[in-house]
Amino acid sequence: MTVDPDAFAAVHQSQWDRLDVLGRQRRLSGSEADELLRLYQSTSAHLSLLRSVAPEGALSALLSTRLARARTRFTGARSNFMEDVARFFVLSLPAAFYRIRWLTLAVGGAFAVIAVLYGLWALNNPDVLRALGSDARLQRLVDRDFVDYYSQNPAASFSGQVWTNNAWIAVQSVALGITGAFVPYQIYQNALNVGLTGGVMFAYGRGGVFFSYILPHGLMELTAIFVAGAAGLRIFWSWISPGPRPRATALAQEARSLITVAIGLVFVFLASGLVEGFVTPSALPVWAKIGIGAAVLAGYWGYTLYFGGRAYRAGERGDLDSQDTGDQITAA
């Protein structure tokens, strides 16, 4: 069969134009949606006929474009980048933080107990202090080294170094949490170091200096470490106790949801890194430095409880959209 493309276009141009109008329209009524579907089907048939005559023609390319635009009205178009970013920070991330809020507090409680016990052990046991170093070495630590650590490098470079190091620890805690051993080991080592350092500072009468340099950035920094540990443990527990879900499905869902935490903590550690680099070693009064650190921590918990609670109650869990996760098979 021979088809004259120009004559064919003259006959059907109004239908194609109408398809294009409906495909660009932001809102469709029920009748308009039905019309769009009918025009899509008929235009698809027109395109097939034209391609049999002139597969590389300009008219075929035009119809392909209009059909593709119309198809998105049925299948749904991907959101743009800014919409994805907004959804991440308003829904996915706070919901993921909110889900592990109680486990975060539990990890923080365990950390505090271990740190206090080690601090008291060092404070009340001279043998422990001698094992940590000579009197001259410990005196240098409490008089100079502890304080100088925060100001020996330019504030910007120090903040960047602290930020990348802590962000890497957070990613490891979430990614390796499935082992069940990495997170407890990481929390224990951090608590041991903080506890022994505090014990030495108190033993030499510098307890106030210890808290004035730890608390401004440590309030948020340590909380972020607890959050990362809680996410890692949650992933581990989904593997041990998947509930009614198949083990692989439970693990995949939790890992997808909680890797969101690792991404979000990059920004949290940026905030604590800036405080550590610019506020902790500054000449501000101690109350002001601790107040800034407390404000950053309050901002985190306000964000988590308000936005996270609202998103969680709306059904958000921090997982990817269904179009990204793919279809799932229902299992008993």
Residue percentage of the chain with pLDDT more than 70: 91
CA 143 vs. chain centroid, Å, equals 39
pLDDT at 7 over 80: no
At residue 190, the pLDDT reads 94
With CA atoms as reference, report the closest residue to 103 among 261, 320, 263, 242.
261
Neighbouring C-alpha atoms within 13 Å toward the C-beta of 167 = 18
Among the ranges given (12-16, 120-124, 189-193), the one the predictor scored with the smallest mean pLDDT = 12-16
Q: Using CB atoms within 10 A of its CB, is residue 238 exposed (0-12), middle (13-18) or buried (19+)?
A: buried
Rounded to whole angstroms, how far apart are CA atoms 247 and 101? 24
Q: Which whole number is the average pLDDT over 68-80?
A: 66
**Cα distance between residue 203 and residue 146, in whole Å:** 14
**For residue range 146-199, what is the model confidence (pLDDT) as tens digits?**
988 888 888 888 898 899 988 888 888 888 888 889 999 999 999 999 999 999
Give me 116's structure tokens: 């206090």
User: In degrees rounded to 5, what are phi and psi of residue 283?
Assistant: -90, 10
Angle at CA 204, nearest 5°, toward 198 and 205? 85
Q: Check whether 206 has a pLDDT greater than 50.
A: yes
DSSP, res 280: T
* DSSP for residue 152: S
Mean pLDDT value across residues 64-73:
78
- Rounded to whole angstroms, the Cα distance separating 173 from 228 reads 6
Cα–Cα distance for residue pair 146/328, rounded to 1 Å:
54
Q: Give the pLDDT confidence of 25-52 residue by residue, as tens digits.
A: 777 787 877 887 888 888 888 878 777 7
pLDDT reading at 77 higher than 80 = no
pLDDT score for 121: 95
The pLDDT of residue 287 is above 70: yes
Whole-number Cα distances in Å, 32 to 20, 36, 67, 70, 228: 12, 6, 16, 12, 50
Q: How far is CA 246 from the centre of its chain?
A: 25
What DSSP line would sit under 33-99, residue for residue?
Answer: HHHHHHHHHHHHHHHHHHHHH-TT-HHHHHHHHHHHHHHHHHH-PPP-HHHHHHHIIIIIHHHHHHH
Residue 316: the pLDDT is 86
When pLDDT is averaged across residues 320-331 and rounded to a whole number, the result is 48
Residue 213 pLDDT: 94
Distance between CA 89 and CA 127 in Å, rounded?
50
Q: What end-to-end distance do the CA atoms of the chain give, in Å?
A: 56
2 pLDDT more than 70: no
What letters, b where the CB count within 10 A reaches 16 and e where it falls short, cover 63-84? beebbeebeebeeeeeeeeeee
Residue 54 pLDDT class (50, 70, 90 cuts): low
The predicted model gives 245-272 an average pLDDT of: 86
Residue 3's pLDDT is what? Answer: 64
- Report CA-CA distances (Å) from 325 to 24, 73, 100, 253, 257: 28, 21, 22, 9, 11
Q: Does the model's pTM come out above 0.85? A: no
Q: pLDDT band for 56, please (50, 70, 90 cuts).
A: low
Q: Report the pLDDT value the prediction gives residue 55, as an integer from 0 to 100.
A: 62
User: Which among 41, 42, 44, 54 has a CA at the least distance from the CA of 2?
Assistant: 54
**pLDDT value of position 270:** 93
Q: What is the model's pLDDT at position 322?
A: 47
pLDDT at 40: 82
Task: Give per-residue pLDDT as tens, 303-325.
Answer: 999 999 999 988 887 765 544 44
Mean pLDDT of 102-118: 97
The domain ranges of the chain are 5-75, 84-325
Q: What is the mean pLDDT of residues 117-129?
A: 93
